[in-house]
Structure 1
Amino acid sequence: MPMIEINGVEIAYEDTGPRDAPAIVLAHSLFFDHRMFEHQVARFAEDYRVIAYDQRGHGFTPHPKNGEYGMDALTEDAAALIQRLELGPVHIVGNSMGGFVALRLGARYPALVRSVTTVGSSADKEHNIEQYRPLVEAMKEHGAAPVIEQLMYTMFGDTTLAAQSQASLRSTWRNRMAALARETGSAAEAVVERQSVVDELALIKVPVLAIAGDEDHAYGIDLSEQIAQGVDDGRCIVIKAAGHSASLEAPGPVNEALAAHFKRAEATS
């Protein structure tokens, strides 16, 4: 994968599609990497330049030497990536942690953003901090393997966890997440301790789509509704039989929603 040095970290990214086409930037969830968007890359790379990148300490991007994983730092990384690759304004799509980045980017760097999409995300601070703190501490001490069952339950919905048709997805991501190093616990800690940006939502002036899975064990539909209601032009849709990682679990409905959202944003920009 290509690498680009941004804010002292070598960021890995996948660059697919026509270089002169409108750009989509895909920001993945905690514990995942750019590969969680494989279905979106396949769907949109014919008509868009699609950038799927690995955030700090995930995938092929190394852990930062300074141990900084905060949402502000991740947002600065995304802004710098867009600027360095001369992409803007972009359709920014973020799943969970990537959604935290997408919202901050839309509020703080309006010139870089054409539309915002969050998937299984929230604008608020973490409501379940005490529930997740033992998980964070266990990961910081031992890595992800001892807590893999909790990670799988958090990241996927009931249908994905049970359906035979999703067995390959489960196996692939169980193995990838179980291999996560102890440093990923610090990234999880930054997610759990993030600050609310509810008060910044009004600064986002482009169309916003908040996608929620109806089987999300981490964030309820109400948090996606809060995002949609907090911006000037927001919509919330619910994907059936999907959990926290709807872009992976239900790529067909998610891609359909994204395509309509992108076209609407392009028509109004």
Structure 2
Amino acid sequence: MHHEIHGRLDADAPTLVLSSGLGGAGAFWTPQLPLLSQDYRVLVYDQLGTGHSPATLPEGYSIDDMAGELLALLDEVGIGHCHFIGHALGGLVGLKLALLRPALLDGLVLINAWSSPNPHSERCFAVRLNLLRDSGPAAYVQAQPLFLYPADWIAANSERLARDDAHALAHFPAGDNMLRRIEALLAFDIEDALPRIATPTLLIANRDDMLVPWQRSQHLAEHLPDARLELLDYGGHASSVSDGDTFNRVLLEHLARVAAPAVATA
């Protein structure tokens, strides 16, 4: 898979692995990279079948497959320990990593993630699937901001969103890849396994997320053995974009407590 490593490269640098949501592209984290790369080694990647990682995803493709692909990548580049940061679908990949290889993870940050389907999110994804199947990628891309951002932010950023829409449509996953990815996240259910995930976890959720109710993060906080919930008032499903200042502050404060970056030496 296409990947990039940013920031510190010295042996003492703590490593962050950033995993994007349904879109799958590492570019989602562009607003965070200048801040994180000051103190950390940061790996971002395009998930298989998205961005610069072309592939044809098979029927039955799953979050387990996504986790296995990431483990293979981390082995390839020699990352044996990391703090994992995952947004939405990326958070599901992180939960699966914590079950498959707990020794890999020094910590988890899960942003608007979940452990099993819920009726509201299922309805939202059903609408997105129907748009994709019946109206095509252009309609899917046009509707996407409605699920990701607050209404006032959308109204204030129409020119930016027009550029984003054009880029997303030009780089839309080939064939049925997006359908397979939506099916994978809808099938994800690890409720019975939550007590076995002992990795220290920060959960970030937004009260105004209209795609994934913030109570899904509260549920994770109540059922994971070592988890803390940071509940934000504004930003929608993708507050790392729509309210980056608040999101970045919460993330950096957390990492300063748990990742303890050493001072780089010349």
TM-score under structure 2 normalisation? 0.86
Q: Matched residue of 2:31: which SS? A: helix
Q: Is 1:18 matched with 2:8?
A: yes
Letter in 2 for 1:49: R
Q: Is 1:205 matched with 2:198?
A: yes
CA contact (8 A) 1:141 1:182 kept: no
Aligned to 2:112: 120
The offset of 1:212, in angstroms, is 1.1
Q: Is 1:50 matched with 2:42?
A: yes
Q: Is 1:190 matched with 2:180?
A: no
Mean CA deviation greater in 118-127 or 177-186: 177-186
Structure 1 runs (4+) greater than 6 angstroms displaced: none
**Gap change, CA 1:157 and 1:32, over 3 Å in 2:** farther
5+ long unaligned stretches in structure 2: 261-266
The offset of 1:167, in angstroms, is 4.0
Q: Distance in 1 between matches of 2:52 and 2:72?
A: 18
The offset of 1:67, in angstroms, is 5.2
Percent sequence identity over aligned pairs:
24
Letter in 2 for 1:178: L
Question: Which structure 2 residues correspond to residues 123-134 of structure 1 after superposition, within 5 A?
Answer: 123-127=115-119, 128-134=121-127
Aligned to 2:97: 105
**Gap change, CA 1:149 and 1:65, over 3 Å in 2:** closer
Query: Which structure ranks higher in relative contact order (CA pairs < 8 Å, sequence separation ≥ 6)?
Result: 2
The offset of 1:130, in angstroms, is 4.4
Aligned to 2:255: 262
The offset of 1:137, in angstroms, is 4.2
Aligned to 1:94: 86
Q: Is 1:154 matched with 2:147?
A: yes
Over the aligned positions, Cα root-mean-square deviation in angstroms equals: 2.1
**Gap change, CA 1:58 and 1:264, over 3 Å in 2:** same
Q: Is 1:39 matched with 2:26?
A: no
Q: Distance in 2 between matches of 1:167 and 1:145?
A: 16
Aligned to 1:220: 213
CA contact (8 A) 1:55 1:74 kept: yes
Aligned to 2:263: none
Aligned to 2:165: 174
Mean CA deviation greater in 77-86 or 113-122: 77-86
Q: Distance in 1 between matches of 2:255 and 2:214?
A: 22
Aligned to 2:68: 76
Deviation string for 1:77-111 (max 9, x for gaps)? Answer: 12222222122311111111101111111232111
**Gap change, CA 1:130 and 1:247, over 3 Å in 2:** closer
Mean CA deviation greater in 225-234 or 57-66: 57-66
5+ long unaligned stretches in structure 1: 1-10
CA contact (8 A) 1:140 1:186 kept: no
Letter in 2 for 1:25: V
Q: Matched residue of 2:125: which SS? A: helix
**Gap change, CA 1:199 and 1:157, over 3 Å in 2:** farther
TM-score under structure 1 normalisation? 0.85
Deviation string for 1:122-149 (max 9, x for gaps)? Answer: 1122434345335324424654212333
Q: Distance in 1 between matches of 2:205 and 2:198?
A: 21
Aligned to 1:6: none
Alignment equivalent of 1:253, drawn from 235, 246, 254: 246
CA contact (8 A) 1:124 1:197 kept: yes
Q: Distance in 1 between matches of 2:115 and 2:57?
A: 28
CA contact (8 A) 2:58 2:180 kept: no
CA contact (8 A) 1:159 1:241 kept: no
- How many residues align? The count is 254
**Gap change, CA 1:50 and 1:38, over 3 Å in 2:** same
